[in-house]
Structure 1
Amino acid sequence: MSDTPSSPSADLLLEQELLGCLICAPEALAAVASSLEPEHFAQPLHGRLFEALKARHASGAPSSPVTLAAALKMDWSAPVADDMTVGQYVARLVADAGPPIMAKSYSADLRDMWAARAIGDAVSRTASSNGMPNEKLEALLDEIDTVRASMADAQVTRETAGESAQRLLEQINGIRCGEAQPSGATTGFTDLDRIMLGYRPGELIVLGARPGVGKTTFGTSSLLQSAKQGNGVMLFSLELSREAVAARLQADLVFDARFPLTHSQIRAGNGLSDHDFERIMGATARMNALPFEIEYAPRLAVADLGARVSAARKRLARAGVTLRVVAVDYLKFLKATDRYKGQRAYEVGEITAGLLAIAKDEGVCILLLAQLNRGIESEKDKRPDLHHLRESGDIESDANVVMFLYREAYYLEKSEAYRSGDLQALAEHEHVRNKLEVVVAKNRNGPTGTVDLFCDIGASAIRNLDWRYGGHT
């Protein structure tokens, strides 16, 4: 790129209007300083001018054509283009300045143009480089990811406390007047919604449990209940197959305590009656009408997950649906970068921080399922707590809400008394076999506590505790 502004392209015209605006109205820099960098300018001289303006603004010093001359350390009478000197060119920028109110919009457009140029340059370099096709493609995708990350980092996140309060006030007023809906989505469980305010946009919720207690069942059943209310939901099934997930969802949809069908029966297929098959066909039809998407990638990096969430959000938006909840099953199968390779605690911290960033950037709630460590098995009281989270304390610190699952029936079934047919153990099991405790151990949205739910793990169904036997979904 030439150091002189000789081309009247759309990029340069936009840069000229923005720079003129910032010279004439230095206060407009506050709206763009955090999202724009000198390298975003196509014209190097424009980048130098912006850098000087930004430096003077940061120091609190006034900016004018005269002070810019000293800051740039350039000969003001040096020629640049069209028989103009640097001083004359800056004067023309002032004459052609855009209105200060447009500075933020100019900045966003300029940043988009930079991203398009950067990706175009990456494509050109890749096409002309040597190497295996798969290696070239991987290198290109890495460069595109770098540009995307830079764009995400450049998003303007600043506003005054008054602006934040006004935004919330307008939202509350809209809800009271029936003109808006509360932000976020239901978990499907009334008492749990009351404690944690449902699935809130921009939040990371961690759900921990030992294997077999029901964390996948909770995830699929909760997403299903929320999708029935019109909320867009997405499941990243990094462990279970398509068949396994579909069977769980169908078992949940057809659930009737009088005639339950387990997901294992549905997968086996050969023991089903005609009536059972008709119920499954009906469940499949209802499933097709729900805004529920599933990704079955076996292992994903956080950046890949973020890109897929973004694509799903846009895809659902075109259908008039807002993506509100994204569940990840489960933490073990997410890949970290090589930055902390071999240091699992740091890798987990990188993953949870990345998921929280995705939740904020995409305006969704992320439900992350996690496995608890084995230490709980040796304790007398096997109800989980925060210290049972595996691998990293960052899981707790990054999460807005941390919940755990506890099923007394799960531990009774493993006891020697139950296995030997002890009548008291069998009676105790019968009393609690459909009880699931959700322990809310950390909650930035309100109180902590325990919520009791009805569950049938074999049928992949979880309901409010006041759900009646013989009821239908």
Structure 2
Amino acid sequence: MKLSAPLFRLKRQARLLSREEGIPLNKALDRIAAGEGFRSWSQLAAKVARDHRPGAGLFAQLEPGDLVLLGARPGQGKTLLGLELLLEAAKAGRKGTFFTLDYHAEDVAQRLRSMGGEPEAAGRDFALDTSDGICADHIVGRMRGAPRGTLSVIDYLQLLDQRRDRPALAEQLRALKAFTVASGQIAVLISQIDRTFDARGSGLPGLADVRLPNPVDLTLFTKCCFLHEGEISLEEVRAA
């Protein structure tokens, strides 16, 4: 389905509608999305993200040793982008693994179909790990010995902090950073963004918007990528 106008113009229409009718911006966005044939603005934004397919450009900017944070609010396409990165790695002849504590194999298959891919891609083009035991030690053990430039996508950061029998999230992140630096592999951690970001009503999230149940040094990441309403940014992370 082709949009009647570029995304930024639709957002501008929503802001005008919000002011003119005195309704919240999120309601105005949903009304504009309905006029385009979508149930909600988040569904429209996810469709734009899928069609835009930014994975190739993003993958080209990743380097051996990178630890990357990929953050977005629900429905913005962050899981799809993570899978797209793995498919791009496969095209480049790189190994890859999708570690997920959130999805089952059939969920991954459905997302591949939504991208126009084949469910058989998981297993043929990259490995899929849905173990309940996923944590930094598990990931390092699974990836140890893999070639330089191998890509891991971890879904997602906050779920690594769920079990009390696992090391603290800060410790796990330090372990993953040490491993990527030593091995020359690349790890991308999908991350939730705090709900308070929605109250701002515009722009892209940043590191300050990452939802953290417990303190974590986010400057351990070498790069951060954020998605929102079809827009995407990739930046270097600099220590404070």
Identify whether the pair has TM-score above 0.5, normalized to the shorter chain: yes
The answer on 1:294 being equivalent to 2:128 is yes
- Give the match for residue 247 of structure 1: 110
Cα-to-partner distance string for 1:393-452 (whole Å, 9 max, x where unaligned) = 635211000111111xxxxxxxxxxxxxxxxxxxxxxxxxxxx211224446xxxxxxxx
1:349 aligns with 2:196: no
| TM-score (ref. length: structure 2) | 0.66
Does the alignment pair 1:225 with 2:59? no
RMSD: 2.9
Matched AA of 2:171: E
Structure with bigger gyration radius: 1
| Equivalent position to 2:232, from 434, 438, 459 | 438
- Equivalent residue of 2:150, what SS? strand
Q: Does 1:371 align with 2:205?
A: no
Please list, as runs of the form range in 1=range in 2, the aligned pairs for 1:71-90 lying within 5 A after superposition: none
**SS of residue matched to 1:334:** helix
Q: Give 1:332's aligned amino acid.
A: Q
Q: Is the 8 A contact 1:302 1:336 kept in 2?
A: no
Q: CA deviation at 1:379?
A: 1.5
Give the alignment partner of residue 141 of structure 2, picking from 278, 296, 307: 307
Amino acid of the structure 2 residue aligned with 1:355: L
TM-score (norm 1): 0.35
Distance change in 2, residues 1:335/1:393 (3 Å): closer
Q: 1: CA distance between counterparts of 2:223 and 2:152?
A: 15
In structure 2, the CA distance between the partners of 1:284 and 1:394, relative to structure 1 (3 Å rule), is: closer
Shift of 1:358: 2.0
Task: Quote the Cα distance in structure 2 between the aligned partners of 1:353 and 1:299.
Answer: 18
Q: Closer, same or farther in 2 for the Cα pair 1:337/1:247, shift >3 Å?
A: closer
Contact 2:136 2:172 in 1 (8 A): yes
Distance in 1 separating the partners of 2:135 and 2:208:
26
Deviation (angstroms), 1:285 = 6.2
Give the unaligned 5+ runs of structure 2: 1-53
Task: Give 4+ residue runs of structure 1 displaced > 4 Å after superposition.
Answer: 284-289, 335-341
Structure that is richer in helix per residue: 1
Identity %: 26
Q: Which residue of 2 aligns with 1:330?
A: 156
Q: CA deviation at 1:384?
A: 0.9
Partner of 1:469: none
Distance 2:205 2:87 in 1: 25
* Greater RCO (Cα-Cα under 8 Å, separation 6 or more): 2
Q: CA deviation at 1:208?
A: 0.9
Give the Cα–Cα distance (whole angstroms) in 2 for the partners of residues 396 and 379 of structure 1.
22
Tell me, what secondary structure is at the counterpart of 1:387? helix
| Counterpart residue identity of residue 226, structure 2 | F
Aligned length: 184
Query: In the alignment, residue 200 of structure 2 is paired with which amino acid?
Result: E
